[in-house]
C-alpha cells in the first residue's frame, strides 16, 4: 500500500487557493492509498475569521469524500468545525467516500493562543478501523504526549497519523518525537506538516514517513511537496514479535 504525506505552504485564510493546491496534489496520488494532509489545511490558523472558515468545512468534507470514493483513498487531516459548544480543531478519517472517524484536538497549543479560539476536545483517544489498517491520530502538539500514543498502541494502532502546523523553532523536536513514536509504538508514522511563513509564523516542514523500526522511509525538509512510501502492515507484526513491548 502506498502512503502519502502532503507538506504545504498555506495562504492564511484563503480557503479556495489552499484547496485548489491540495486537489492538484491529490490528483497525483495512486488509487488504494492513504493520504495525510496538514492540520487546519483549509485556512491555516486564521483565528479571527474561524467562524467563516468553519462554515466551509461541510463543503470540503463533501469534496474530499468524492475524491476518496473515486480513487478508493483513505484521507486524513484536520479542519475547523463549528458546534453548538464552539469551534473545534477536528481530525477526521475519510475511507472510500465515507467519514468513519472524527476527534477534536485535546491538547491545544497555548503559546500561540489556540485556547482562545478553539474548544478543547475530550481525552478520548480511540483508533479508526479503516481499509488501510487501524489508524491513530495525534494532532500536532499532542505528539509530545507519550500517554496518548501508548493508549492508541494498546488499542491496536498500526499507523499513527500526525497532521501538524509545527513551528520552525522546534523543528528538531518534531523529527525526534516522530521517530520516537514509531519506535515506542512499533507502528508506521505519517507526519504531514506545513512549511515556510504563514501569517506571522514560520513552520518547520520535516514531514516524514517512518516504519515500525523507526527508520525514515520518506522525508521532506523545508520545501513544499508530496512524499510517498510503500508500507506493509505485516511489518508491524514482525517488529512487535521481535521485541515484545507488553508491560
Alpha carbon distance 120, 108 (integer Å)? 7
223 located within any domain: yes
76 located within any domain: yes
247 located within any domain: no
- Higher-pLDDT residue of 245 and 66 is 66
Alpha carbon distance 104, 123 (integer Å)? 9
213 located within any domain: yes
* pLDDT at residue 137 greater than cutoff 60: yes
Query: Which three cell numbers, joined as nine digits, stand for 3?
Result: 502512503
Condensed to tens digits (0 to 9), the pLDDT of residues 139-168 reads 999 999 999 999 999 999 999 999 999 999
CATH number at residue 119: 3.60.110.10
Q: Which residues contact 223 (CB under 8 A, 6 or more apart)?
A: 7, 195, 205
64 located within any domain: yes
Query: What is the pLDDT at residue 37?
Result: 98
180 located within any domain: yes
Number of domains in the chain: 1
* pLDDT at residue 69 greater than cutoff 60: yes
* pLDDT at residue 247 greater than cutoff 70: no
126 located within any domain: yes
Range of the domain at 50: 2-242
* pLDDT at residue 121 greater than cutoff 70: yes
Helix axis angle, 50-71 to 15-27, nearest 10°:
20
Alpha carbon distance 132, 30 (integer Å)? 14
144 located within any domain: yes
Question: The whole model's pTM is what?
Answer: 0.97
| Sequence-ordered alpha helix ranges (H) in 28-105 | 50-71
Alpha carbon distance 134, 131 (integer Å)? 8
Whole-number mean pLDDT of the chain?
97
Query: What is the pLDDT at residue 33?
Result: 98
Amino acid at each position: 500500500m502506498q502512503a502519502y504525506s502532503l507538506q504545504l505552504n498555506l495562504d492564511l485564510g484563503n480557503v479556495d487557493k489552499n484547496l485548489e493546491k491540495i486537489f492538484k496534489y491529490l490528483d497525483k496520488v495512486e488509487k488504494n492509498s492513504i493520504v495525510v494532509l496538514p492540520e487546519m489545511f483549509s485556512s491555516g490558523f486564521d483565528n479571527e475569521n474561524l467562524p467563516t472558515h468553519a462554515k466551509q468545512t461541510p463543503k470540503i468534507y463533501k469534496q474530499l469524500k468524492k475524491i476518496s470514493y473515486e480513487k478508493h483513498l483513505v484521507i486524513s487531516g484536520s479542519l475547523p468545525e463549528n458546534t453548538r459548544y464552539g469551534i473545534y480543531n477536528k481530525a477526521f478519517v475519510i475511507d472510500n467516500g465515507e467519514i468513519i472517524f472524527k476527534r477534536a484536538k485535546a491538547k491545544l497549543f497555548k503559546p500561540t493562543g489556540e485556547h482562545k479560539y478553539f474548544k478543547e476536545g475530550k481525552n478520548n483517544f480511540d483508533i479508526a478501523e479503516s481499509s488501510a489498517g487501524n489508524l491513530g491520530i495525534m494532532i500536532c502538539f499532542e505528539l509530545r504526549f507519550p500517554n496518548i500514543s501508548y493508549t492508541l498502541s494498546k488499542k491496536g494502532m498500526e499507523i499513527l497519523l500526525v497532521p501538524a502546523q509545527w513551528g520552525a523553532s522546534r523543528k528538531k523536536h518534531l523529527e525526534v518525537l516522530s521517530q520516537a513514536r514509531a519506535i515506542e509504538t512499533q507502528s508506521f508514522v505519517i507526519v504531514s506538516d506545513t512549511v515556510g511563513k504563514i501569517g506571522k509564523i514560520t513552520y518547520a516542514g520535516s514531514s516524514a514517513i517512518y516504519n515500525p523500526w523507526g527508520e525514515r522511509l520518506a522525508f521532506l525538509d523545508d520545501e513544499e511537496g508530496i512524499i510517498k512510501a510503500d508500507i506493509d502492515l505485516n511489518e508491524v507484526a514482525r517488529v512487535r514479535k521481535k521485541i515484545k513491548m507488553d508491560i
